[in-house]
């Protein structure tokens, strides 16, 4: 019999950036030394991702005989199985799986996709007993399994949409529709990430897990910014521009300082200095202006030199407010300058960095919606400077 090809399932799990962190947190939360994501069908049990501290011998692509696992039963009843000491358990002390593999503690949580299909399990095992009585353990692990399932759904949606885009005649219309749907769908797993991070932070004071949680929070923050940029892009394309709601802002400085603080918190390696000298009574949409600033500073963090500070200045010049963000590093290529404020141009221009290439486009649209402009200069000597200007309309 020809063995089914599970490479696509393995690649799908490997492509989920949060999986290694999830497996590490599963081990920390349960105090067990082996964690894995498995693809389980009616005939096969295949490891897709593994975190092994007991030399169990499985790597991604490795198989166990399905009938020797409890996952075979979980696939049928679709409920979690969790026990901390098999030898003292009224049922699992006689079960063949703990006896076959010499297990004392065991966790297996079903991973279900949006269409109700059973993908596999998030599992953990150990030859030593584990204290798994705390209800929050099962709740958190179930949340992790749900997050993996939603991420698999998002990947499938992305693959389907990309295939459609490759053959569609109305490429631009479909792409706009795609980013709008994707932006909305990504909010669900992002909420799961944030909830699980908040829950886990209340359960540990240890340095290493807290570092892992900080990494999750940083990734969630970046994802949140990307999602908002995607949604703003979709709203702008479908409704004739990014909507703004200007109102009188008594003191814009502290609002901008808070935005800079959030960027700094998400990027502790960056050095960001600022000088804000703004008048009272500015007529603007303060949330949109902080978004403009965050996008400019985030762009500087991504593309600027890591050993030089990012400098932020804001002041009134005549009848206008000026916001200047400067970073050092290689100058922007001349050929790229005309495309810099256009969406989706980063990959087309061969630029490094993460994201969809929407941040500068969104910032330019916000400036334009305020009746202003966003410009850029870039030289090796002076660095790269983005300058946003818009009418102050001071009281």
pLDDT tens track of the chain, all 395 residues?
A: 446 789 999 999 999 988 999 999 999 999 999 999 999 999 999 999 999 999 999 999 999 999 999 988 899 999 999 999 999 999 999 999 999 999 999 999 999 999 999 999 999 999 999 999 999 999 999 999 999 999 999 888 888 877 776 665 565 666 666 666 666 566 667 777 777 777 787 887 888 888 787 777 767 766 776 677 766 766 666 555 677 889 999 999 999 998 898 888 878 889 999 999 999 889 999 989 999 999 999 999 988 998 999 999 999 999 999 999 999 999 999 888 888 888 766 544 445 444 456 789 889 999 999 999 999 999 999 999 999 999 987 54
**Shared-domain flag, residues 329 and 376:** yes
Q: How far apart are CA 60 and CA 14, in angstroms?
A: 9
H helices of the chain, where? 7-14, 19-30, 71-77, 96-101, 135-167, 171-201, 207-239, 252-266, 286-303, 359-369
Report the pLDDT value the prediction gives residue 267, as an integer from 0 to 100. 84
- Tell me if 1 is assigned to some domain: no
Residue 346, domain extent = 247-391
Total domains in the chain come to 2
Q: Is 314 exposed, middle or buried (0-12, 13-18, 19+ CB in 10 A)?
A: buried
- Tell me if 284 is assigned to some domain: yes
**Shared-domain flag, residues 350 and 299:** yes
- Tell me if 239 is assigned to some domain: no
Report the pLDDT value the prediction gives residue 262, as an integer from 0 to 100. 83
- Tell me if 237 is assigned to some domain: no
**Shared-domain flag, residues 101 and 36:** yes
Last residue of a domain, one of 231, 259, 283: 231
Paired residues of 322 in beta bridges: 315, 389
- Tell me if 91 is assigned to some domain: yes
Q: How far apart are CA 337 and CA 247, in angstroms?
A: 33
Report the pLDDT value the prediction gives residue 290, as an integer from 0 to 100. 92
**Shared-domain flag, residues 150 and 279:** no
Report the pLDDT value the prediction gives residue 152, as an integer from 0 to 100. 93
Q: How far apart are CA 318 and CA 284, in angstroms?
A: 16
Dihedral (CA of 290, 291, 297, 298) sign = positive
Report the pLDDT value the prediction gives residue 286, as an integer from 0 to 100. 92
Q: What is the CATH number of the domain that holds 374?
A: 3.30.565.10
**Shared-domain flag, residues 212 and 264:** no
Q: Is 238 exposed, middle or buried (0-12, 13-18, 19+ CB in 10 A)?
A: exposed
pTM as predicted: 0.48
**Shared-domain flag, residues 350 and 381:** yes
What is the helix (H) or strand (E) element at residue 110, kind and residue range?
A: strand 105-112
Q: Please enumerate in sequence order all residues whose Cβ is within 8 A of that of 238, keeping only pairs 6 or more positions apart, or say none.
A: 176, 180
Q: How far apart are CA 112 and CA 220, in angstroms?
A: 22
Which of 136, 68, 368, 116 lies closest to 38 in space, CA to CA? 68
Q: What end-to-end distance do the CA atoms of the chain give, in Å?
A: 81
**Shared-domain flag, residues 317 and 384:** yes
Report the pLDDT value the prediction gives residue 19, as an integer from 0 to 100. 92
Report the pLDDT value the prediction gives residue 240, as an integer from 0 to 100. 59
**Shared-domain flag, residues 211 and 301:** no
Which of 212, 191, 189 lies closest to 200 in space, CA to CA? 212
**Shared-domain flag, residues 322 and 351:** yes
Dihedral (CA of 363, 384, 220, 110) sign = positive
Taking CA 113 as the corner, what is the angle to CA 8 and CA 41, rounded to the nearest 5 degrees? 55
Taking CA 299 as the corner, what is the angle to CA 291 and CA 192, rounded to the nearest 5 degrees? 65
- Tell me if 61 is assigned to some domain: yes
- Tell me if 359 is assigned to some domain: yes
**Shared-domain flag, residues 213 and 276:** no
Last residue of a domain, one of 231, 258, 282: 231
| Tokens linked to 376 | 């850029």
Dihedral (CA of 88, 27, 187, 38) sign = negative
**Shared-domain flag, residues 225 and 374:** no
Cβ atoms of 18 and 152 within 8 Å: the answer is: no
**Shared-domain flag, residues 121 and 179:** yes
- Tell me if 383 is assigned to some domain: yes
Q: What is the CATH number of the domain that holds 45?
A: 3.30.450.40
């Amino acid at each position: 019999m020809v063995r089914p090809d599970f490479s696509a399932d393995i690649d799908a799990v490997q492509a989920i950036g949060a999986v290694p962190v999830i497996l590490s947190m599963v081990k920390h939360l349960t105090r067990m030394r082996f964690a894995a994501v498995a693809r389980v069908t009616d005939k096969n049990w295949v490891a897709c991702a593994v975190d092994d501290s007991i030399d169990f011998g499985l790597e991604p692509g490795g198989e166990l005989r399905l009938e020797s696992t409890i996952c075979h039963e979980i696939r049928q009843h679709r409920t979690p199985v969790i026990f901390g000491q098999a030898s003292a358990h009224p049922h699992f002390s006689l079960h063949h799986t703990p006896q076959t593999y010499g297990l004392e503690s065991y966790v297996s949580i079903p991973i279900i996709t949006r269409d109700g299909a059973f993908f596999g399990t998030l599992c953990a095992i150990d030859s030593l007993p584990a204290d798994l009585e705390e209800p929050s353990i099962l709740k958190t692990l179930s949340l992790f399994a749900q997050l993996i399932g939603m991420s698999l759904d998002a990947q499938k949606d992305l693959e389907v949409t990309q295939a459609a885009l490759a053959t569609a005649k109305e490429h631009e219309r479909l792409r706009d529709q795609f980013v709008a749907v994707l932006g909305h769908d990504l909010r669900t797993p992002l909420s799961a990430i944030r909830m699980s991070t908040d829950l886990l932070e209340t359960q540990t004071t240890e340095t290493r897990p807290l570092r892992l949680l900080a990494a999750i929070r940083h990734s969630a923050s970046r994802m949140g910014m990307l999602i908002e940029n995607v949604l703003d892009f979709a709203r702008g394309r479908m409704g004739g521009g990014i909507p703004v709601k200007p109102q009188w802002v008594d003191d814009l400085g502290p609002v901008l300082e808070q935005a800079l603080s959030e960027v700094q918190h998400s990027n502790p390696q960056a050095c960001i200095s600022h000088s804000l000298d703004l008048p009272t009574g500015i007529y603007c949409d303060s949330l949109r202006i902080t978004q403009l600033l965050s996008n400019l500073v985030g762009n500087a963090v991504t593309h600027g030199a890591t050993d030089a500070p990012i400098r932020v200045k804001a002041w009134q010049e005549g009848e206008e407010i000026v916001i200047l963000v400067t970073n050092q590093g290689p100058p922007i290529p001349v050929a790229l300058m005309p495309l810099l404020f256009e969406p989706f141009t980063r990959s087309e221009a061969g630029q490094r960095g993460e994201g969809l290439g929407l941040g500068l486009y969104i910032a330019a649209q916000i400036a334009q919606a305020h009746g202003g402009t966003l410009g850029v200069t870039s030289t090796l000597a002076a660095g790269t400077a983005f300058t946003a200007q818009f009418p102050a309309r001071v009281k």
